[in-house]
Structure 1
């Protein structure tokens, strides 16, 4: 459908777009409230133990995605999306109870090395407490005071559980939102509207980070869970409104509300099979894997620097990490307006993913020569900002012309299992590398190799998308879910 001459959205499309923006805002704003908590609590276990958590996260995502694939294959979207969202809300209530009454979160906490040694069977340390810091950064002297072993073990277990849950929530909630959007909009609409809808997430991230920074000193870290609950629940209302009223261009048959009749009973491994039989999904899986592999390697360096320079105050670490995410979203707002809009005008916008690739290559080279907290923080801010504003919108375009199985189950597998597989493999490499070499330029070289491979994968993905784009543009219709 061509855009109207006055460049205004059709009435039905306009209302759905506004509610979609609000939906994305609710999801991302709530996530950016609980995300800094995850970062600060994870550092309680020691930055050297975070790779182990990422490995467990990868394993848990395999199980979580299997359950998600089964649910999606059995129920319609107006049933499973609200159900999963309410499940997340109940989990947040549980974490508020845990971190308020079971292990209250205070300002000063026990040193990470003490926690690791007290619960070595739960999370085995992968480095000595006093191993050399990264590139000249002094190590943090640890206290001789040891917490009670039983209490420390419970604390390690609960913090680890929360870390794994946030990783699952982050991937599943966002992936589910975009799968829904890809089911509602056509290819032509996606190119016009995804940059606009993306503002909901960017403003949500900025608001969530600001709320966390402003409120954590007044209400404490644990009460931020209540804030996240209040922000997340309205997303259910937004989803139901879009499902009941979503706009279709004239002449397009609305098939989305019809019951799904799969060719076979739903299976937990349908997401994996959907990826394996589709070349473009294989490329998307490789691109996502290499992105998360390099991100985890780079982010581990930031964790070490935060731990070394800030210390053990949970509120200070939460505030600092929230500040980073706040800057990410400020930069994202500008990138969304200038960069994303320009790339969407290209005949094949998927080539725009090369911009993120080149920035990571350049940023890694800079880190090799100046590995300070300021430099590493700003490289991460720029790269993540472009990924949230431009990279996310470009990746979602790939899924629009695909069938329902690819949109929900295949995409869900890529966004969760493959995403965490990149985390997991990079974490295994970090565990082995830190055991022999400590922190150093070998991490940067590993990132560069991954980025060179990703460069080729992006070009291949853009070529496959271009082949699908021609028939999609010719028909100028929204894709119909597989029956």
Structure 2
């Protein structure tokens, strides 16, 4: 009897937290593991992101389109290697294999930059490699979630779990800002590799949790299915996209997202190079922007996004940010100054993390397992980086040829509106697939 008040208090706290975060009690361990997976991954990546931006500026802003093209080519080389791994090892082992290979590569880069910190070609190589692996690792982490959570669970939990990414994205830039002076770029890379390696270990636990808590009504793969390899050939992801109108729509959505991002990214690099000539100062500026973005995103992910998806559907998440970006591009066309740019960039990135990314990942809960890994990875890497490369050259041409610098921003407005229309169509298709699966 003496312990009854404590038990009652714990039960009341559990109910309060369940209502506050929209989580069923037995889901709490999976949410915790997902949060940890994304926290470690994004803390490690966002320690590298300010360094990557600095390396990009080091090679010259006028050469960024070449770095984007190099990233696209490197992605085309890496994708068949990923496809081979995904075809040969069990689904629950794909992430640990890929994460392990990436950690080894980061350790090598860290040691090389400790030995040769001013090597321009090493800086360019690092920029390209981080641009390849960041999409690969993030896409794969989301693939695991789409594999172990059903669509009904994803609507409630994806954004909440994504807050771990925002927490990691908040911690990473802070660590970079504080430690860059003492550890240098090479030391930060070594620490980042350790965090990413720890992130890879949590994916295995998520599969074990799903094994212990199967859904009675189905909706996700069984434990035996997740222990089996996907099979097929290393290029199956690309062919699946071309055969499926639903996946092709997601690819178009990502292509337009990449174009909007690239237009803003080039403006960021140009303005930062002009205003902040010192490399460490540039790293701190990039880190500060990242910190503000993650702080705003996490509040939405914790309390808003899941409820919007559950009550209004995925389409709202996919349309809101593109419409805001259309207005933002118009604002930049009228007032192309650093302060306005920072507001628009922060709105885009915070909105992407809080709304667009969770909504986009929810789309994959309604596709077969092979598409969750192979086709999704093709879209998230090759399509995204292809959009980067193409829009990078378009933006560079506009900067060189256009008589008015606002031309690129006006084109960006049109792209953002097309992005919104694509998101609206995808939301409707996702709703139809859910209804068909339920019936």
- TM-score using structure 1 length: 0.82
2:6 corresponds in structure 1 to none
In structure 2, relative to structure 1, the CA distance for the partners of 1:237 and 1:10 (3 Å cut) is same
Deviation at 1:424, TM superposition (A): 0.9
Q: Deviations over 1:206-265 (max 9, x none)?
A: 011111111112322321112212211211321122222323233548524335466xx6
1:254 and 1:360 map into 2 onto residues whose CA distance is 37
1:438 and 1:342 map into 2 onto residues whose CA distance is 46
Find the residue that maps to 1:346 and give its secondary structure: helix
1:362 corresponds in structure 2 to 327
Find the residue that maps to 1:104 and give its secondary structure: coil
Deviation at 1:294, TM superposition (A): 1.4
Deviation at 1:436, TM superposition (A): 2.3
2:165 corresponds in structure 1 to 201
Contact 2:333/2:407 (<8 A) preserved:
no
| 1:10-25 → structure 2 map (5 Å cutoff) | 12-25=26-39
1:395 corresponds in structure 2 to 360
Find the residue that maps to 2:185 and give its secondary structure: coil
1:439 and 1:300 map into 2 onto residues whose CA distance is 16
Q: Deviations over 1:386-406 (max 9, x none)?
A: 101111110111100210111
1:284 corresponds in structure 2 to 250
| 1:75-474 → structure 2 map (5 Å cutoff) | 75-101=89-115, 103-104=116-117, 155-246=119-210, 247-252=213-218, 255-258=222-225, 259-260=227-228, 266-311=232-277, 313-437=278-402, 440-474=405-439
**1:50 and 2:64 are equivalent in the alignment:** yes
User: Which deviates more from structure 2 when the two are superposed, residues 335-344 or residues 37-46?
Assistant: 335-344
Q: Which has the higher contact order (CA 8 A, sep 6+)?
A: 1
1:226 and 1:75 map into 2 onto residues whose CA distance is 27
2:3 corresponds in structure 1 to none
2:394 and 2:221 map into 1 onto residues whose CA distance is 48
Find the residue that maps to 2:295 and give its secondary structure: helix
Find the residue that maps to 1:233 and give its secondary structure: helix
1:90 and 1:10 map into 2 onto residues whose CA distance is 38
Deviation at 1:327, TM superposition (A): 0.6
1:37 corresponds in structure 2 to 51
Q: Deviations over 1:6-64 (max 9, x none)?
A: 75855542212211110111111100000110001110111111111101111211221
2:418 and 2:25 map into 1 onto residues whose CA distance is 45
Contact 2:314/2:430 (<8 A) preserved:
no
1:314 and 1:473 map into 2 onto residues whose CA distance is 55
Deviation at 1:337, TM superposition (A): 3.5
Deviation at 1:430, TM superposition (A): 2.5
Contact 1:69/1:268 (<8 A) preserved:
yes
1:64 and 1:230 map into 2 onto residues whose CA distance is 22
Find the residue that maps to 2:216 and give its secondary structure: coil
Deviation at 1:205, TM superposition (A): 0.4
Contact 1:34/1:225 (<8 A) preserved:
yes
Contact 2:309/2:316 (<8 A) preserved:
no
Deviation at 1:439, TM superposition (A): 7.4
Find the residue that maps to 1:221 and give its secondary structure: helix
2:289 and 2:243 map into 1 onto residues whose CA distance is 39
Contact 1:17/1:193 (<8 A) preserved:
yes
Q: Deviations over 1:173-205 (max 9, x none)?
A: 000000000000011111111121111111110
Find the residue that maps to 2:311 and give its secondary structure: coil
Contact 1:340/1:389 (<8 A) preserved:
yes
More helix as a share of residues: 2
- TM-score using structure 2 length: 0.90
1:19 and 1:439 map into 2 onto residues whose CA distance is 50
Contact 2:326/2:414 (<8 A) preserved:
no
Deviation at 1:473, TM superposition (A): 3.8
Structure 2 unaligned runs (5+)?
Answer: 1-14
Find the residue that maps to 1:170 and give its secondary structure: helix
1:56 and 1:310 map into 2 onto residues whose CA distance is 26
Contact 2:102/2:133 (<8 A) preserved:
yes
Deviation at 1:379, TM superposition (A): 0.9
User: Which deviates more from structure 2 when the two are superposed, residues 163-172 or residues 213-222?
Assistant: 213-222
Structure 1 unaligned runs (5+)?
Answer: 106-154, 475-483
